[in-house]
Structure 1
Amino acid sequence: MGRGGRNLTWRQRVNIAIGAAKGIAHLHDGIKPSIIHRDIKPSNILIGDGFEAKVSDFGLVKLGPIGDQSHVSSQVKGTPGYLDPAYCTSFHLSPFSDVYSFGVILLQLVCARPAVDSTRNQPNYHIIDWARPSIQKGTIEEIIDASLLSEPCNMEMMLKMGELGLRCVVKKPKDRPTMTQVWQELEDALYSADNFNKQPSRASRRTIGKFPRPAEGHRKSLDPDYSQSFVSIDGVGYQKFRVEMDSISFQSTSLRCFKVNSAGLIVDNNKNLRGTSEETDREQVR
């Protein structure tokens, strides 16, 4: 954020989140008694030459609960915007207080906005309140950092990170995930995204844009200004486009439906053109 910064790719952001989450999880679960950081914020996450994340600044750390204890009592310490409201009102400090702070950072990695924005019409407009409606609707493109759109970006991964951020900042601390769960979910989502892109049979279905050469005597032409919008069918993304044709033959079993001007063409499992119907406002799938 801010001037003079360097744009990070979506993958770099995910890897930074995973590395930082592992560091905080080590404080919570890898040390006995556990350690609560109490000041998790972007400036306390350092980035190395290889963009590996390191958690720093342990000036406010406090020993966590022992045995059957769920929390320790403590005066409120930390940075506004990242402080857990439950901790502020009850003075009950637990590892979940760090989880809340990290949830704010996850939202910042997606949106590249300050935790609290004082420049808007609404004073002290928190990033949680600003990002929540779009994340809950699944329209991550409404709030995503614009610099991520200058190159290919895995929007599903960004939405996953935003959704996880909202889970980290829920009102009741016990309803939040642990930091171990946070980094594991991020790693699993990244692994799934990488494996999806490596499967030719599935990847070839993500974008419809290549067809076998039509039989002689058949003609098709693509509008050079075809739409760049996408639709999703059964979790698979398809690119929309317009085609003008007299007729066309199909050899692909992966093509299930597309629009030709105002007519919808349906292809059955036997690769036969079954019929046409006027469909202008929805995709047909058989």
Structure 2
Amino acid sequence: MTCFPKFFKHTSKNKKEGSSSAPELGKSSASNSAAAAAVRSSRSLPSPRGIKELYKEKEQNLRVFSIEELKQATNGFNRLLKIGEGGFGSVYKGTVAVTSSSSNGGGVGSDRLPVAIKRLNKHGLQGHKQWLAEVQFLGIVNHPNLVKLLGYCSVDDERGIQRLLVYEYMTNKSLEDHLFSRGLPVLPWRTRLEIMLGAAEGLAYLHSGLEVPVIYRDFKCSNVLLDEGFRPKLSDFGLAREGPTGDRTHVSTGVVGTHGYAAPEYIETGHLTIHSDLWSFGVVLYEILTGRRSLERNRPTGEQKLLDWVKQYPADGKRFSMIIDPRLRNVYSMASARRIGKLADRCLNKNAKDRPSMGEVVEVLKLAIQDSAEPVGNGPAANGRV
């Protein structure tokens, strides 16, 4: 996928050579609004704490790894252990030592835990800022549908900056791999719905389950990782942003993300809201319906952009079945598929405020899963209720 250009200002100061420490968060200067809040009645509700304040409370939960530990974990970052690569750098599979109580109660032993280690490129300020965002956001969240960050490594020496992240290892790769790779078994319809439900629950938690809303900003198939039971976990929080609070309606930021997934109002104005995540979710809903990527240059002109193509086959129309992923071989519930199509259209409403909340999306997906238990197939007998 092609990414939008990213624009960041470097705010961190260089550390001493060879230093390894917790991420620098900086200090917030007092503002007029903060001063005014201080003189309000003690009965006033406290202002919600920001991500930095929340992180300060939990930073001790993250393990600080040395670069030597992570080199050993990956056999010197052996390319044979590389499991992913992107603009941020490379991801390796490795194992790290963890302490555990001895089974005979006679002391503490050491086990090896499989992990995924992301090593950011040594050059460029973009990588440092995304690394810092991942540490802060994943350091405070706690949800079964968000990938768990185990720790990090931050070293500055004569060879440059070293920024690494250590996550739990996800056995079954990503939703992207299972939807689009011809080398893997076809992902069943119900499994697709259950994956999307878990992803929606993770996003709902980000939007409304913390003291401040969090905008994920990079929802796409490749960022939905799957564990051994195909349970989904959202990963890659490098582009996440703290959402607006109080009277603010949006946050303004440079446009970043992946072509084909970013909301149109965000591209046009740089105004970011939680509704932006809903648009991206709608795109992925159509990807699980069709088995097609949001953008495929090798298709005929009228079919290259997924959202333009599916408009010709409305969810309540007679030709809707023509867009369903042929690899499913008609093994799906039409009632369920129509419900997903209509939900996707709601998420893709050009008026951002008219998109559903992620909580509403969760409820509709649960209904779609119920529908999927009905007789399968896309023939006349399968055109049940929606």
Q: TM-score range by the shorter chain?
A: 0.5 to 0.7
Pair member with larger Rg? 1
Change (3 A) 1:145 1:232: closer
State which of 309, 312, 325 in structure 2 corresponds to 1:145. 325
Comparing 130-139 and 52-61, the one that deviates more: 130-139
Gaps of 5+ in 1: 198-202, 207-227, 237-286
Q: CA separation in 2, counterparts of 1:100 and 1:173?
A: 8
Maintained 8 Å contact 1:82/1:115: yes
Matching residue of 1:117: 296
Query: Aligned-pair distance for 1:57?
Result: 0.5
Aligned length: 205
State which of 77, 92, 95 in structure 1 corresponds to 2:256. 77
Are residues 1:230 and 2:380 paired? yes
Q: CA separation in 1, counterparts of 2:213 and 2:258?
A: 21
Gaps of 5+ in 2: 1-179
Matching residue of 2:287: 108
Matching residue of 2:361: 182
Are residues 1:172 and 2:351 paired? yes
Are residues 1:40 and 2:219 paired? yes
Maintained 8 Å contact 2:313/2:323: yes
Q: CA separation in 1, counterparts of 2:379 and 2:308?
A: 28
Change (3 A) 1:82 1:124: farther
Maintained 8 Å contact 2:221/2:284: yes
* Alignment root-mean-square deviation, CA: 2.5
Query: Aligned-pair distance for 1:193?
Result: 4.9
Query: Aligned-pair distance for 1:84?
Result: 0.7
Q: CA separation in 2, counterparts of 1:134 and 1:41?
A: 23
Change (3 A) 1:232 1:98: closer
Three-state SS of the structure 2 residue aligned to 1:117 is coil
Query: Aligned-pair distance for 1:29?
Result: 0.7
In the alignment, residue 121 of structure 1 is paired with which amino acid? Answer: P
Maintained 8 Å contact 1:117/1:123: no
Maintained 8 Å contact 1:161/1:186: yes
Three-state SS of the structure 2 residue aligned to 1:54 is strand
Q: CA separation in 1, counterparts of 2:382 and 2:203?
A: 36
Maintained 8 Å contact 2:281/2:347: yes
Change (3 A) 1:123 1:74: farther
Are residues 1:90 and 2:269 paired? yes
Query: Aligned-pair distance for 1:191?
Result: 2.8
Matching residue of 2:151: none
In the alignment, residue 145 of structure 1 is paired with which amino acid? Answer: D
Maintained 8 Å contact 2:337/2:368: no
Change (3 A) 1:162 1:138: farther
Q: CA separation in 2, counterparts of 1:229 and 1:190?
A: 19
Maintained 8 Å contact 1:84/1:101: yes
Q: CA separation in 2, counterparts of 1:230 and 1:91?
A: 45
Change (3 A) 1:123 1:103: same
Maintained 8 Å contact 1:99/1:179: yes
Query: Aligned-pair distance for 1:54?
Result: 0.6
Matching residue of 1:247: none
Maintained 8 Å contact 1:97/1:173: yes
Change (3 A) 1:232 1:23: closer
Three-state SS of the structure 1 residue aligned to 2:312 is helix
Give matches, 1:5-24, under 5 Å.
Answer: 5-24=184-203
Change (3 A) 1:47 1:175: same
Taking structure 2 as the reference length, the TM-score comes to 0.50
State which of 183, 206, 215 in structure 2 corresponds to 1:4. 183
Q: CA separation in 2, counterparts of 1:24 and 1:101?
A: 11
Q: CA separation in 1, counterparts of 2:325 and 2:368?
A: 20
Q: What stretches of structure 1 move > 3 A for 4+ residues in a row?
A: none
In the alignment, residue 79 of structure 1 is paired with which amino acid? Answer: T
Matching residue of 1:268: none
Maintained 8 Å contact 1:134/1:143: yes
Q: CA separation in 1, counterparts of 2:380 and 2:272?
A: 46
Q: CA separation in 1, counterparts of 2:336 and 2:382?
A: 15
In the alignment, residue 63 of structure 1 is paired with which amino acid? Answer: E
Query: Aligned-pair distance for 1:181?
Result: 0.9
Matching residue of 2:146: none
